Each structure stands twice: as structure tokens, then as C-alpha cells.
Amino acid sequence: MFRASLRAFLETEAVPREEAWREQRFVEREFWHKAGELGALCPSIPVEYGGSGGDFTFEAVMVEELGYCGITSFQQNIHGTIVAHYIHQYGSDAQKAAWLPKLATGEWIAAIGMTEPGAGSDLKALRTSARREGDSYVVNGSKIFITNGMLADLLIVACKTDPARGAKGISLLVLETEGAQGFSRGRNLHKIGMHGSDTAELFFEDVRIPAANLLGAENDGFVQMMTQLPQERMGVAIGAQAMAEHAVELTQSYMREREAFGGRLLDLQVPRHMLVDCLRETRVSRAFVDDCITRHNNGELSAADASMAKLHTTEMLGRVMDICVQLHGGYGYMEEYRIARMYADARVQRIYAGASEIMKDIIARTL
């Protein structure tokens, strides 16, 4: 029922807006509010905090349906699947009561600030600092490539509270951005794909964040991030899987209609064998992804297997998208065709939430 209502909502409210979102490079707040009314922003957050009260499979359905619609502008995955769960997992009762209902309705849009100009996949290298002064932390530094950063009302900021301790000196602070002195946003960064998803650079110059906004305990940030990253990586894996499946569907439909050499493109042996390779890859991958979803929902998925799901699906997506564009011929290179936009959108999947090379290293540690 959730999938059916969500699909109808996205087809009616999101698909017609996707081109405009790509041009303006952000999703307007009106749509966030509508998604909140549907219960789609925080589907696995408890009802007592404004969520829909589902489990992780509801998050999976949300990510899948966005992929099946070809929507990459609306980043609920960051907002609800990631940020809301940091707050629900590590926040105090007061923090959860103050912030989660606003995220569930779309009144506030959420982001998380991990990546810095000199610290991407290597989170231990982050340099943004936070020193305690009375009842506040004073934050200095910058973040880059922050999804939802241009509109974010609530931002989780990863900071060094004890630089001498390296990774063990990282804490997570929650910034309410409205009126925050010393906080500023730079450019809405121009990317080669995912044009409708706002991606910001953020700056902190003596920004005071109340000590009451510390998420969990001081210097526990790295452990918190490592604990939550498997869910983030599963979100990416599920999205990549759905995008690959949708690319195959689009290509199969195109090949049924495209005339070449006196017949349908689908009737030519080499092109249809190419499509079979894509179908095989997506079907086999789907079995592993579904198994990981089930295990994660039961609290049994290891960090290595979450990394493997992210690694496999995003690499598979790259191969499938390349073939699907090839099968579209020249039309596959035209932006008005969804397959071309998806091709550009797919490339970053192998980079964010931990690059493929990092995923391999995480898996290798278990050998």
C-alpha cells in the first residue's frame, strides 16, 4: 500500500517537476511539505516523533520508487534515511521531540556535513574544529559536497572536539541554521549529473552551537558514523539497483519501437544479447540486495556486506548504464531522453558514501 501510494504521488507530483528542478538546481519546499503529508519523509521513524512507524523496508521502497521514476533531485535518503536516524539513534528525548517532527512534516530540511575539501572517504582527516566555551561549542572550518546544504534548516556537523585524539576526538553537533551567526553557504555546486539535487559548500566562522545540541557523547562521533554508514550505503545500493532496473526497462521499450536494418532493434541478435547481459546483471544483483535489506531490517547485516552491496550495485549500474546508452544510439546522448540524464546521474554513485576503493578495503579487512 505504501509503495502504491508513493508511486502515484511521485508520478503525479515529482516526475512533471523533475526538469524544472534540474534547471533551478533544487527542490522547492512546497514539494517537501507534500511528501511530509504523505508520510514519505521519515517512513521508519516512530509515530510518536511524527514518522510513519515503519521499518527499514519502508525506506527501501522509498529509495526504489525514486529510482523507478528516474528522480535524483529529491534527496529524501539524506534527510530521512540518514539524518533522522542519527537523531533517533543518538539524540536525547528532548532532541528527538524538538527535531524529528519537523523533519517528518518537511517543515525543516536536513543535511549532514562530513566531507571537507581535504577529507572525503577518509573521515579521520577532517579538520573542522569545535572547542567548548561555557554552554556552547565554537565551530570553525568548512564542508563541501553537502547534499541538501543550500536549503538545510538542520545540519549535523562532524567536528574535531579533541584533535590530539584523531578519530577518537570527533563529535557530532546539530546546527539549527536559521540566524546562526558565522554560518554561511557558498555556491550551489554545478555537477555533471544530479542537477536538481542542491549540493553546497558550507563555512563556519566562530559559529556557536549550544552544548545541548551535542549528539550523544563528546568524542563518540567517529563510532556513531561508522555505525550508521551501513544504512547509508544500503540506501545507495538500493537506489543504484532500482536505477539499473529502470534503465533496462527503458531500453527494452526503446528497442521494441526502434527500426533498424528492416526490423526492430530488439530482433537483432547482437543488441538483444547486450540487453540480456544487462537483465542478467540486474536480476542476480537484486537477489543479493533483497537479502541485504532483510538482514539489515533484522539487525544482522555486517558493515562488510553493506559495503559489498554498495560496491557491487554501483559498479553494476555503471556497466548497465553504459550498455543502455549504447543501445539508444545517438538519442542516448541527448539530455531530453531520461536514459542520458540517468547516465550522468549514475557516475557519482561509485564515489559518494565511500568510494568503491574504500568499500573494497573494508571488505578486505574481514578476509
Catalytic residue IDs: 232
Query: Which candidate, 76, 123, 88, places its Cα nearest to that of 229?
Result: 123
**Contact at 8 Å (CB) between 253 and 337?**
no
Query: Which candidate, 139, 144, 89, 90, places its Cα nearest to that of 112?
Result: 144
As given in the structure block, the three cell numbers for residue 173 are 553537533
Query: Which candidate, 345, 289, 333, 261, places its Cα nearest to that of 21?
Result: 345
Q: At 168, give phi and psi (nearest 5°).
A: -80, 0
Q: At 335, give phi and psi (nearest 5°).
A: -65, -25
Query: Which candidate, 108, 64, 62, 65, places its Cα nearest to that of 84?
Result: 108
The CB density around residue 181, as the number of other CB atoms within 10 Å, is: 8
Q: Which residue has the cell 534548516?
A: 153
SS3 at position 174: strand
Output the furthest CA–CA distance in the chain (Å, rounded).
79
DSSP letter at 161 equals: S
**Strand-strand pairing, 154-160 and 136-147:** unpaired
The CB density around residue 203, as the number of other CB atoms within 10 Å, is: 17
As given in the structure block, the three cell numbers for residue 256 are 521494441
Task: Name beta bridge partners: 171.
Answer: 159
**Contact at 8 Å (CB) between 138 and 207?**
yes
**CA torsion 42→44→50→52, rounded to 10°?**
100
